[in-house]
A and B are shown apart, each in its own frame.
Chain A
Amino acid sequence: MTLEIVGISVLWLFLFGYLIIASIDFGAGFFNAYSLLTGRQHILTNIIQRYLSPVWEVTNVFLVFFFVGVVGFFPKTAFYYGTTLLVPASIAIILLAIRGSYYAFETYGSRGHKGYSFMYGIAGLFIPASLSIVLTISEGGFVSMVDGQPVLDYWELFTNPLTWSIVVLSIAAVLYISAVFLTWYADKAKDAKATSLMRKYALLWSLPLIITAIGIMVELRQHNAEHYGRMLDFWWLFAISAVMYVGTVWLIWKRKKYGLALSLLIGQFALAFFAYGISHYPYLLYPHLTLYDGFTNPTMAVALIIAFIAGLGLLIPSLYLLLKLFLFNKDYVRGKKDNHA
């Protein structure tokens, strides 16, 4: 394994972590707002707040880790993506900021203002949409070099069906991941009503998810034949992922083993996400930037990797403690204890 591969694997792994936990968070916010609208708030709010409250900040750090790490390992990405992403990334930041702060404001300040909850819920869907634009741009065809500077063609970007399919996929994935997780969590909390409601949502969103996923493959074939070809090389990874998808849906349908369903879901996304990433290799931005031109110097790379290993040594036990206290603690999950400051 070369240093380049180690670097990108680490970053991709954390991005995957962000994808999962942020999806749970974003989706939960949306379901919360939606249930307010339909007057079923009492069913969900408790479950959602119990899970989200202690962990929202940690979720955000996963994202920070990713973008700081990318610039560390691949400084040239700052030049290519930094210049072109000014508008979409700024919009994502503003939405993240509104969402993160209002969450804290509402939870700890004035509970129950409806306006906040709606803003919060809607922002949670726009964020994945605006972040997913980065993946679209990375497929190439939207950035051209003018006087040695990368320039993004917005017209091309916003009229391309690929863009919109990826946006829809990101939203469907958020809602599906979140619904499956919350089904499991509500079941653990022995909250039958919430379980059955979340189960319905999970099943509802499983279909749009798979349709858009397949649609994107088809569009990619036209848009970036090289990438499509490499994806076919890894067809078996996508195939296992699809089997896992079927497994999750089946278990949820049969109201069985929600824990296993959740594991399968994570496996499904992990395989698809990594298969996508591997087939993207070696490009960071088609066709301008590859892993190899963009890489930092070897000294820095080694230093970063050492720092990363040391950091993990600190992080894993701490994360374990967090999960043990809040995710796997029966009394906490069932709401028997509330020890908030």
Chain B
Amino acid sequence: MGNEESVFFSRVLTELTLSFHIIYATIGVGVPLMIMIAQWVGIKKNDEHYILLARRIARGFVITVAVGVVTGTAIGLQLSLLWPNFMQLAGNVIALPLFLETFAFFFEAIFLGIYLYTWDRFENQKKHLLLLIPVAIGASASAVFITIVNAFMNAPQGFDILNGELINIQPLVAMLNPAMPTKVAHVLVTAYMTTAFVLASIAAFRLLKGSNHIYHKKSLFLMLKLGLIFGIAAAIIGDFSGKYLAAYQPEKLAAAEWHFETEKGAPLVLLGILDGEEVKYAFKIPYALSILAHGSPATEVTGLNDFPQDEIPPLYIHYLFDGMVMIGMFLVFISFVYVIGKIRKWKFISSRWFRWIVVMGGPLAILAIEFGWWLAEVGRQPWILKGFMRTAEGATTSNNVDIMLILFSGLYLILGIGSVVVLRRMFRNNPVEQELEDRHAEKGGDFT
């Protein structure tokens, strides 16, 4: 097997591992915050339903964390195994956030262990809630640090290269690169948003499947409110991400928008198909691309024809971009309708068809996360470190990557199926109604 094949299989394996890890990682970032909010609302309103909600989410979280941790360990090692040349360079410049991330993991893991095993151990519920703060901080911090590494790959700075030697290395400057603010903010907010929609989707599903318990209704309303807030934030920050791209990675934006000729007042292209350089069957929103890129309709947007041909990313990322944005708009729309409907007492928001739409929201949000990452990573090609190292130069020369790909595919299949089966069984064997009854019976006797 030649070098080209190792590069190819390294790419596929990285794509596979990250695409799988990111599902569990996103949930891992969002869930601690959701538990915290639910438990806090429960304490404030003195409502056992919210407390139980927190407790049940926490229980399910154990499973997703486990898969997140093991797949994260896999990707962490794989970065060195599959991209040794890249990591040798990156290690010199961007090792700091990677290192800090391990402390965030420590922090999260320790307090998660404590939190999970101290339910009802404290007289004062608030003390127990306090334990969750480090968990939420740790989870979000790990996302922040890893996203900083990824931002660095998109907009490297903080070092110079002189005769092949790295000089003037400034770790903090490397961390505070121009891609960092929008990327970190967008990743965090979309993680919260996705988690809210996933939890809303579970509540809606339970309501559809016969349980009409007020517990699920409270959960649904809470999660859709949160989903709406974070969804709007995601769209706003997404808009800033577009402006970042226009300034620092214009070829990515142009490829995502099939924008070939540099022009003023550029339209935003939605869907369509490409015939040579001609865009067919697309919806065009006049001036919208100029607004996304620079905030005003008259400004100029650089087109693909102004870049060297071998530095243009694959054009299919257009669909990824459209998919992500449309899902985002759709989710904001349905959560908005639900929240307004709840206030104005619209009947149809409790209908079966509307609930089915909410059920779709969770998987769609996860799909949007995948689309977003594929857009960001494929859109960076052919570079692994933009402007400095091409993906092919970073890869391993080892010949066994194809076999490893098969092994890991099997592993993810097992983990994916296993986690779903276990989660379903866990909640089916212990429905809310049952658990509430048990707790009341328990409370009757002793108060500890």
Stretch at the interface among B41-49, B180-188, B347-355, B392-400: B392-400
In chain A, positions 75-99 with a C-beta closer than 8 Å to chain B are 75-79, 81-87, 89-91, 93-94, 96-98
Q: Do the beta carbons of A325 and B91 come within 8 Å of each other? A: no
Helix, strand, loop or mixed for chain B's interface?
A: helix
Contact residues in A for B422 (Cβ distance below 8 Å)? 105, 108-110
Q: Which of A61, A103, A300 contacts B96 (CB 8 A)?
A: A300
Question: Do residues B114 and A81 form an inter-chain contact, with CB atoms below 8 A?
Answer: no
Known: A68-B76, A104-B62, A339-B119. A87 touches B93 (CB 8 A): no
How far, in Å, is A320 (CB) from chain B's closest CB? 10
Interfacial residues of chain A within 10-40, with CB under 8 A of chain B in the complex: none
CA distance A24 to B194 in the complex (A): 37
Closest beta carbon of chain A to B99's beta carbon, Å: 5
- Interfacial residues of chain B within 60-75, with CB under 8 A of chain A in the complex: 62-63, 65-67, 69-74
B418 on the A face (CB < 8 A): yes
A71 touches B112 (CB 8 A): no
Contact B96 A96 (CB under 8 A): no
- Does any Cβ of A come within 8 Å of B233's Cβ? no
Q: Are A337 and B121 within 8 A (Cβ)?
A: yes
- CB closest residue in chain B, given A100: B70
Report the Cα distance A311→B62, complex, angstroms.
Answer: 25
- Distance of B66 from chain A, by nearest CB (Å): 3
Residues of B within 8 A of A69 (CB): 99, 102
Q: Classify the secondary structure of A's interface with B.
A: helix
A55 to B69: give the CA distance in the assembly, Å: 13
- CB-contacts of B354-383 with A (<8 A): none
Interface size on B, residues (CB 8 A): 79
**Which residue, of B70, B172, B421, B423, has the highest number of chain A Cβ atoms within 10 A?**
B70
- Type the 1/0 row for A31-67, where 1 means its CB is closer than 8 Å to any CB of B: 0000000000000000000000111011011011101
Q: Is B58 an interface residue (CB 8 A)?
A: yes
- Give the complex CA separation of A65 and B322 in angstroms: 38
Please tell me the size bucket of the interface on A. 35 or more
* Chain B 105-131 per-residue mask, 1 if CB under 8 angstroms from chain A, else 0: 111011111111111110000000000
Q: Find out whether the CB atom of B92 lies under 8 angstroms from the CB atom of A300.
A: yes
A337 to B98, CA, bound (A): 38
Residue of B nearest to A149 (CB): B397
Contact B99 A53 (CB under 8 A): no
Within 8 Å CB of A340, what residues of B? 116-117, 119
Is B80 close to A, CB under 8 A?
Answer: yes
Chain A, 303-341, CB within 8 A of any chain B CB:
303-304, 307-308, 311, 314-315, 318-319, 321-322, 325-326, 337, 339-341
Once the chains are docked, how many angstroms separate the CA of A76 from the CA of B89? Answer: 9
For the complex, is A222 an interface residue (Cβ under 8 Å from B)? no
- Cα(A296)–Cα(B171), bound, Å: 12
Question: Is A160 engaged at the interface, CB distance under 8 Å to the other chain?
Answer: no
Q: Which single member of B59, B70, B109, B172 contacts A101 (CB below 8 Å)?
A: B70
Q: Are A71 and B73 in contact (CB under 8 A)?
A: no
Residues of chain B with a CB closer than 8 A to A2's CB: none
Residues A61 and B425 in contact in the complex (CB < 8 Å), given A83-B84, A101-B67: no
Given contacts A97-B74, A325-B118, contact A85 B95 (CB under 8 A): no
B296 within 8 A of A: no
Beta-carbon contact of A311 and B100 below 8 Å:
yes
Measured CB to CB, the closest approach of chain B to A30, in angstroms, equals 19
The residues of A that contact B89 with a CB separation of less than 8 Å are 75
Identify A318's interface contact among B69, B81, B111, B118, CB under 8 A: B111
Give the complex CA separation of A93 and B119 in angstroms.
32
Residues in B neighbouring A300, C-beta threshold 8 A: 92-93, 95-96, 169, 171
Query: Is the pair B396, A82 in contact by a Cβ cutoff of 8 Å?
Result: yes
Contact call A108/B91, Cβ cutoff below 8 A: no
B389 within 8 A of A: no
Residues of A with C-beta under 8 A to B400: 86-87
B85 at the interface (CB under 8 A from A): yes
Q: Cβ of B134 < 8 Å from any Cβ of A?
A: yes
Bound-state CA distance A337–B134 (Å) is 24
**Closest chain B residue, CB of each to CB of A88:** B81
Q: Return 11 A-B CB contacts under 8 Å, by A number.
A: A58-B109, A76-B88, A87-B403, A93-B77, A100-B70, A109-B422, A304-B99, A307-B99, A307-B100, A318-B106, A341-B116
List residues of chain A with CB under 8 Å of any chain B CB.
53-55, 57-58, 60-61, 63-65, 67-69, 71-79, 81-87, 89-91, 93-94, 96-98, 100-105, 108-110, 149, 296-297, 299-300, 303-304, 307-308, 311, 314-315, 318-319, 321-322, 325-326, 337, 339-341
